[in-house]
Each structure stands twice: as structure tokens, then as C-alpha cells.
Structure 1
Amino acid sequence: MSQKPADSAVDTSDLMAVRRQKLDALRAKGKDPFRNNWVQSHTSAKAYAAYEAFEKDLPESDDPEAKVPDGPEVSVAGRVITFRVMGKASFMKIQDRDGVIQLYVQRDSLPEGLYNEEFKKLDLGDIIGARGVLFKTKTGEITVRVSAYELVSKSMRPLPEKFHGMTDSEQIYRQRHLDLISNPESRQRFITRSRIIQEIRKFLWEREFVEVETPCLHNVAGGAAARPFMTHFNALDCDFTLRIALELHLKRMLVGGFDRVFELGRVFRNEGLSRRHNPEFTMLELYQAYTDHRGMMEVIHSLIQHICKNVLGTFQIPRADSDEVIDLSGDWREVTYKELVLDATKDDKWFSRTKEEKLAACEKLGIQVDPESEDFEVTNNVFEKLIEPTLIQPTFVLNIPKELCPLAKINENDPSTIDVFELCINGQEIAPAYSEQNDPFVQREMFEAQVGEETQNLDEEFLSALEHGMPPAGGMGVGIDRLIILLTGAANIRDTILFPSMRPEKREQSE
């Protein structure tokens, strides 16, 4: 029994057989089509810059027919994406990490026989190295006049028939390598993602935060209300979970004297897939001693504006599929959770209503709510389904109900709420932040209320650490993938994750 590899809708077996024949022919000549190395002196962008610098130094001439001397010699490498053979000469374009550059190859510039016997038999998708001088074609395109080339990696599987601008989302997510080859906007989005993460680190390092790494395997799932992935630790013969948050270990760092600490890490929640949710995602969590949620407001406001300035070059972010622009400059709106709910329901007595009255009101508002929900959950359905989608411009939502987060300080003026903000932009939560709870007795009570009778789920190690004394602190979590959606205009969280979670592809069985 053998498996037939999945591919595009086009049967590629014959094309692959032809490429295998070419491979065998090269090996029969003693040539290795999978080289160990190629010395690349210039990327495409650096080659363009080198020629432009050379061109600036050329003496001025009034003769339009004057021959322009060749530019500097470069050694480039990349994947063949277009190939046009014209008898004794060929034009080819290769793609590298910076973009695309054109090659011009003449038969007589290569060793005798090489042009017809090998070069013309290259395929789209092959990766080659080429050396030569730069010049400009009659159409003004900077090009490499090739004097030597090598096939450095033979592409055995042809690119999809319409790989330029590949649009099938299933194929894009499942075969991300092809998406990166064919879609420049996708390549740029992931480069931008990398630069954003780099600037996040730079911003926090400059503020004297220390980056740490905490365990991915936890014996108690804590720091958030989410269903964990389960696994078994064979060496210890006990069950563990993949972490659902970074919070509790980072707070133990505060107890240990690390006053400013952060982690950029993968988090795993065994829950649904949607346009804004992926079970495996990247989270930034940071904690700063001797401040509170107000201090965190300044941090996230400054951080996002730092990214806008140093990565995007603008504070105006166009919304996907809309003419509206999100303005991240200046000060941002502040409003309480209760104010938003009262305004949305048009009921100034909402918070004194019974749960049954709230459920009836939700039905009139067109909001579906599980009748078994707790009272605070009914109200939170109003916020999440009716209010949050309308918060397009940056908004700090303050003083949320205490039941929604057991890890924050109770608000001194309204004991039914906690000192928390949720930063909402583009209709979704980007960052929640707290004045962290550091009273071990109150923390235990809130944990016990959250877990009910399942007291085995209490993180006793964290509570024990808290009893040694944790300084007052502000803490914040930022969903990196959602932040990338916002800043790059991506339509789906899967567009911001290189290899999103997917059901395994079914493969046809053949004898």
C-alpha cells in the first residue's frame, strides 16, 4: 500500500517524471543538483541599490547613443519564477527574500554546450545561483548579465498552475510555502509581523523590562478561563496541560524581585476556530511592580504608537473591506463598562434588573443568550455581541465586573467591579490589563469562587508564592496575532499565523 501525495487540482505526476529524468541526467554527468552552498554577495534589493549608486557616479553625457559601461559584479540567488527563452539568449526572473531580479543569459557567455544542454532545461521553481555584471535593459530594468550560474536546488514538484496570486484559502493555509512564493502581500505581512515583534522587544528592553521564558507544561491550568490541551508526562507518570496563559509564573517572578518582566510565548486553548481565534496563538504578557492598570494604559498606548511610527510609518490604519480609517494617534477614548451597557440597552436600571428581565431584554435586542448563564454572563453577552463590535476607534473600557477576572484588584469606589481595562480597537479586544491582586487571602477567595467544588484546580504553588508578598503591580496581556490583524489589515487570524491549526488532509490510497 502506498500513498499518493496531495497536490493541486492538476495531476502533476507526468511533470514530476520529466523533472526526475532531468535530475538523473545531471547526476549521470557527475553534477549534484542539490549543492551545499552558493556565495550570495547581493540580494535583489542590494543589487538594485548597488547599480543606482554606480549610476550616480557616471559622468554626464549629451549623446543618447553613448554606450553605458557595465555596472558592478554581483552574485545573486533565488527561485526561478519566469523563464523566457529566445534562441541564443534568455531572460529569467528569480525571487529571493527581498523581491525579484532579472537575469540575462547569452549562449556564448557560458561554457560550450552548457546553454543548450543544461540551462535551457531549467524549470520554474528551480533555485539557482548566478554571477555577472549589472546593466540596464532598453526598457530601463536593472538586470544581471550572467557569466556563470549553478543549479543549487532542483524543484522536483512543479509550482501550482496559477501560483502567481494563489487565492484558494485552503491551499494558502495548508501549503504556506507556496503562498509565500506566490503572494508578495503575504510575504510582506509576515515580514511586518517579525518587525513588529522586534520593536515590541526593543520598546520593553528600553524600559528596563527583563524577558524570561516560563514553562509550556503546567500541572494546573491557570491564568485564564479556558479549556486546556491535555498531555501525559511519561517520566513523571502524571498528566500535564499545555499552558493557557503566561500569567501565574510571571507573577511569581514579581515575588522573586523581578520588578519588570515580560514574555512573548505560545499559548494553547482547546477551543473553537474562528476568524479571530486559533487554538495556538502568541501572547505578550508583561508585569511592572509599583504601578497599576493606569500605568499599563500608558504602556500599551505608547507601545502601539511606537510600532506605528517605527514599523508602519503611519498612525492611520485602513480597515479591511471598509472605507473607514482607524486613527491611532493622539489620546484614546476612556469609558466604563457600565456606561457602555446602559447606553446600548437604553435602560438606566439595567444593573438592578433580575436575570429574567435581562434575558427578556436580550431577546428584544436580538441577542441569543443561554438561559442557564449567570447574571454577569448575560450582561457580558450584551457587551460582546452588541457593544464590542462597534468599538472601532481605540477605546479603553474600564471597571469591568469582578466576576470576569479573579486576578485583579477590587475597585475601591465600586466593589462590584475591578481595576481593569480592556483596550478595544477595530471591534475586538486587543489588550486587557489589571491592577494585580496581591492580597493572598482575597486571591484565594476569588479562585475558590471561580473553581467551585473543583478545588484540585487551585494553583497552590502560586498562592504560596503570593503569601511571601508580591509588590503592587500592573499586568497586561496582548494577543499578538490580533494586533497583527489590526496593523496589517488582515481579514483572518489565519492570515497572520504562518502555519495555522488545520484538520489533517485526507490522502488518497493507491495500491
Structure 2
Amino acid sequence: MYQEQTSRRIEKLESLKAFGIQAYPERFAKNYELYQAGNLEDGMTDVKVAGRVISIRHFSKLLFITISDIQGKLQLLLKKDETGEELFQQFLDYIDIGDFVGVEGTMYTTKTNEKTLRIKHYVFLGKALHPLPEKWHGITNIELRYRQRYLDLLMTKDTQNRLLARTRMVRAIRRFFEEKEFLEVETPILQHTSSGALAKPFKTYHHSLDTELNLRIAPETYLKRLIVGGFTKVFELAKCFRNEGISPQHLQEFTMVEGYAAYWNYEDTMKLMREMVLYLLNQTFQTTTISIHNQSIDFSLEWDVVSFRDLILKDTGIDIDLYPNVKDLFQETRKKGIDLDYPDAELLGRGNLIDLLYKRKCRPHLVKPTFLIQHPIDLSPLARANDANPGLTDRFQLVINGAEVINAYSELVDPLEQRKRLEAQALLKNNGDVEAMEMDEDYLLAMEYGMPPISGWGFGIERLLMVLTDSDTIKDCVVFPLTKKG
């Protein structure tokens, strides 16, 4: 059946060519987008629009046609006595749902109160060789939806809305930071080390240089090099790559927004991030109140602030301050009957073990926007130690609906202390912790030339969009997510 439809469409394509009609013309001069035309006054003439045909209704001597694109749709009226029998019959005989047309005509409103363009003239703009999925069933195979995202966009309103929201959000992010006088920069994706975060990198090979390289897991250390070089406020929309497992909240390729401000601390950044989230909500969704799991949350209200230690103590009964030794801490989790659901958990360093405990037992319960502060220093190799308690860092995370949305620090700018911490991370890596950091001598050299006080932050666009649109999986927030080879 499907192959028969494709064959018939190819036959129609050949017939069009035989009539001397260009099947794939060079261009069409529109003067309105579809969403704009729907707002024009009745009687407006010489309106020129174009789009994909998504429905055709035939009534004797007239056709009602709907054309669409990602931003809107418009009903058209094609009448035999207004366009002539040849053009009318040509449309009936050769144009299918999925094809593209350009039309010119006059706006009017139907008796059912629908804005419609009465076609004076139309031209063929492109033949679809395959039928579109059925309107009411769409694409039910989830993997196929991701692999053939173009069909998902055509048929699924939720997908259209979510990915349009992503575009609006990215535009708003740039506008927000530019208005705050941050400068947008670009840093390398191919790197010799995997500094900047606790994650396993993807590796590649540069043949001309005869060297192994990593795809970056974060732009952090290069952005900080720019602070050494005299920049004071920078940000980047950075493609990052982490060789992590598959989960509804993780992507192997994602877009991170990361930035740094010289002379700031993490409390300055907390204020900035709250202001940014409220700005993005207004610009993207025109509201600060959104629904998460059927719970209405007003982001303009005060956000909770909770310490890492207090949160874990409340949810697990374990006071992490009482277990400075990682083996003792691991044994305590076993004693409490806590299943960490992680292979070789006993090989993790203390910081990663604490992080795993938090992710399994605490984070899922944080639904309203919450600032999580006072992370253990083991968990933050690049963050500044707190002056009053050197075992903690001046750091915060914003958690919403069980997802870490923003991560931010007062940055470590002491090169000698940074060297000690990276040496400790390198030792953990050698002992089997694949997510530990490695030594980065070039970054340490940059630090040794001097850094001012710095605060920085990072967040994934997909993770933020997932939370704000209450999506079930982060893949829904990527235009073309990674899929298994078909």
C-alpha cells in the first residue's frame, strides 16, 4: 500500500514535468508568513504565502486546502469559477498532501469564522514522494520519532511547541547576558585533557598531530584562561560531550551555557541566575508560573536554600561530616540498606560517592526551585573553599523537579591549592574512578600568572527546557537526539 502511494506520486511528478511545470522551482516571493496572514483584515488583496499542504477537502467546484509551516497554518479556498477549470483540475489531479504550493489571493473570513485566502493564482513548489503519517495517529514508534524528527515536527504539536520554545529560550539567553554586558566567546571542542567537570570524555585521534584528544566535557578551564587574559565578564553557548550512560535526564551531546564574572562570588551569581530564570520564563512562555507534575509553581516566589549535609541527613539519616573516610561512608550506606544502583560504587572517591548518594536518595524529592549550597570539597575540585569551613565549598546548584539545572561556584584561583586538588583527582582516576579529573598543566600555568576573584556558572539548555516544559525525557528537548544506528 505504502509503496503504491509512492509510485503514484512519482507518476504525478512525471506528468507535471510533461506539462512543462517545474517540479522543484528556484524560489517563490512571499510577502507574508502564514502566521501573519491569519491576522490580516478581510479584503486584503495580493497576499502571497507558501507552505506544505496538510489537508484537502473537495466540494464539487471548490477545494478547501490547509497549508502549514512550523510557525502557523492557513486555510485556502480554490474555486473553479475563480481560477479556471485547468488550474482547478490540475490541483485535483497532481497535488497531494505533503506537497508544497505558493498562492496569491484575497483574505476573507468564512461563515465558521476561519481566516481564509481565496486563491487567485497558485504555483507548484515541490512534490513529496512519500505520504505523511496519518494525522490522528502520527508516529507512535518513539525511536522513529527521534530518528525522523522532521516527521515528528510535522505531525506533533507538542514537539513543535517545545522546540520553538528552545529557539526562543536560546535567543533570550543571549539577550539577557548581553544586556548584563557579558561578552560571548568561543573555546575549543578538541582538548588535550578532560578538565572542567567530573565526567568520562569521548576520545578521538588527530592524525596529523599524532595525538589523542578529548571532546570537551565543559568549556570551564578555557573560559577561565580568558579571565587571566583580561576579560571580566564572559559566556559561551558550548557544545559539550560526556560519555555517560543513557537516562531520561542525560545526553551524550548537549549545549551548555557557561559564564564567568571577575570580582564576583557565588552569592552574586545566585542573584543573577534567579533573575535569568525569571527573564527566560517571561520571554519564552510569557509567564513565571508553570505546571510541573500537575503542580502549579510560581517561580517569582522565594526559592528555598538548603545545605548539602542537611539534605542528605534529612533523607538518609547519614551525617556525611562524620565519615571523612570514603570506605567508612560506603559501609554506612550498606548498613542503612541504601541501594546505590551503581557498579563498583566502592571504587568511587568520597566526592563522587556523596554525589551518588544525593542523586539516588535526595534529588528526586526537590520539585520547587531550590538552591543547594555548601557542597563537600571532595565534590568540587575547581571550587573555592569556604573561609569559615575549608571542608566545604562556596558553591550552589539550582534543583527543580529532581533535576540539577544550574551549577555555580566561587572559583578556586589559588594555583598551588588547585595543583593539590588535581593531583588528588588524578590519583582517583588511576585507581579506577573514570569520572575523576586528570592533570592539566597548561591550565595550571595560566593560573600561575594570576587570577582575580571569580564566580562562574553552567547549565544545559536541554535540561532547563526539560524541566520548564515538564517533559518526560531530555531527548524531547533536542532537535536531533542521538539514536541507535538504523
Query: What TM-score does the superposition give when structure 2 sets the normalisation length?
Result: 0.93
Equivalent of 1:313 in 286, 304, 317: 286
Equivalent residue, structure 2, for 1:490? 471
- Is 1:441 the equivalent of 2:416? yes
Equivalent of 1:386 in 361, 365, 381: 361
- Is 1:103 the equivalent of 2:84? no
State the alpha-carbon separation in 1 of the partners of residues 66 and 99 from structure 2: 11
Equivalent residue, structure 1, for 2:298? 327
- Is 1:481 the equivalent of 2:462? yes
Residue 223 of structure 1 contacts residue 245 of structure 1 at CA under 8 Å; is this kept in 2?
yes
The residue type paired with residue 379 of structure 2 is: L
Pairing 1:194-209 to 2, within 5 Å after superposition? 194-209=167-182
State the alpha-carbon separation in 2 of the partners of residues 399 and 339 from structure 1: 10
Report percent identity of matched pairs. Answer: 36
Q: How far off its partner does 1:211 sit?
A: 0.1
- Is 1:141 the equivalent of 2:122? no
Q: How far off its partner does 1:350 sit?
A: 6.3
Larger radius of gyration: 1
Structure 2, unaligned runs of 5 or more: 431-436
Secondary structure of 1:77's aligned partner: strand
Q: How far off its partner does 1:212 sit?
A: 0.3
Pick closer, same or farther for the CA change 1:373–1:459 going to 2, 3 Å.
closer
Pick closer, same or farther for the CA change 1:41–1:106 going to 2, 3 Å.
same
The residue type paired with residue 290 of structure 2 is: I
Q: Deviations over 1:54-79 (max 9, x none)?
A: 5xxxxxxxxxxxxxxx3433111111
- Is 1:401 the equivalent of 2:376? yes
Task: Give aligned pairs, total.
Answer: 475
Pick closer, same or farther for the CA change 1:178–1:454 going to 2, 3 Å.
closer
Structure 1, unaligned runs of 5 or more: 1-10, 55-69, 506-511
The residue type paired with residue 487 of structure 1 is: L
Q: Deviations over 1:309-336 (max 9, x none)?
A: 23222222211xx322233113211111
State the alpha-carbon separation in 1 of the partners of residues 166 and 291 from structure 2: 17
Equivalent of 1:418 in 358, 376, 393: 393
Q: Deviations over 1:193-249 (max 9, x none)?
A: 111111111111111100001111111121112121111222322221111111010
Secondary structure of 2:362's aligned partner: helix
Residue 350 of structure 1 contacts residue 358 of structure 1 at CA under 8 Å; is this kept in 2?
no
Equivalent of 2:57 in 84, 91, 96: 84
Residue 232 of structure 1 contacts residue 240 of structure 1 at CA under 8 Å; is this kept in 2?
yes
The residue type paired with residue 119 of structure 2 is: V
Pick closer, same or farther for the CA change 1:238–1:371 going to 2, 3 Å.
closer
Secondary structure of 1:226's aligned partner: coil
Q: How far off its partner does 1:303 sit?
A: 0.2
Equivalent of 2:239 in 254, 261, 266: 266
Residue 305 of structure 2 contacts residue 371 of structure 2 at CA under 8 Å; is this kept in 1?
yes
The residue type paired with residue 446 of structure 2 is: A
Q: Deviations over 1:424-458 (max 9, x none)?
A: 11111111101101111000110010011879942
Pick closer, same or farther for the CA change 1:349–1:178 going to 2, 3 Å.
closer
Residue 351 of structure 2 contacts residue 377 of structure 2 at CA under 8 Å; is this kept in 1?
no
Residue 43 of structure 1 contacts residue 96 of structure 1 at CA under 8 Å; is this kept in 2?
no
- Is 1:360 the equivalent of 2:338? no
Q: Deviations over 1:326-368 (max 9, x none)?
A: 33113211111111122223355862483354133441x4544
Pairing 1:138-287 to 2, within 5 Å after superposition? 138-162=111-135, 165-287=138-260
Q: Deviations over 1:274-323 (max 9, x none)?
A: 1111100010000000011111101111100111223222222211xx32
State the alpha-carbon separation in 2 of the partners of residues 243 and 350 from structure 1: 33
Pick closer, same or farther for the CA change 1:349–1:148 going to 2, 3 Å.
closer
Pick closer, same or farther for the CA change 1:148–1:32 going to 2, 3 Å.
same
Pick closer, same or farther for the CA change 1:115–1:368 going to 2, 3 Å.
closer
- Is 1:337 the equivalent of 2:308? yes
Q: Which one is further off, 162-171 or 220-229?
A: 162-171
The residue type paired with residue 411 of structure 2 is: E
Secondary structure of 2:38's aligned partner: helix
State the alpha-carbon separation in 1 of the partners of residues 379 and 132 from structure 2: 50
State the alpha-carbon separation in 2 of the partners of residues 335 and 229 from structure 1: 34
Secondary structure of 2:124's aligned partner: strand
Residue 252 of structure 1 contacts residue 465 of structure 1 at CA under 8 Å; is this kept in 2?
yes
Q: Deviations over 1:72-106 (max 9, x none)?
A: 33111111111112222111111123211111111
State the alpha-carbon separation in 1 of the partners of residues 54 and 135 from structure 2: 12
Q: How far off its partner does 1:167 sit?
A: 3.7
Residue 194 of structure 2 contacts residue 214 of structure 2 at CA under 8 Å; is this kept in 1?
yes
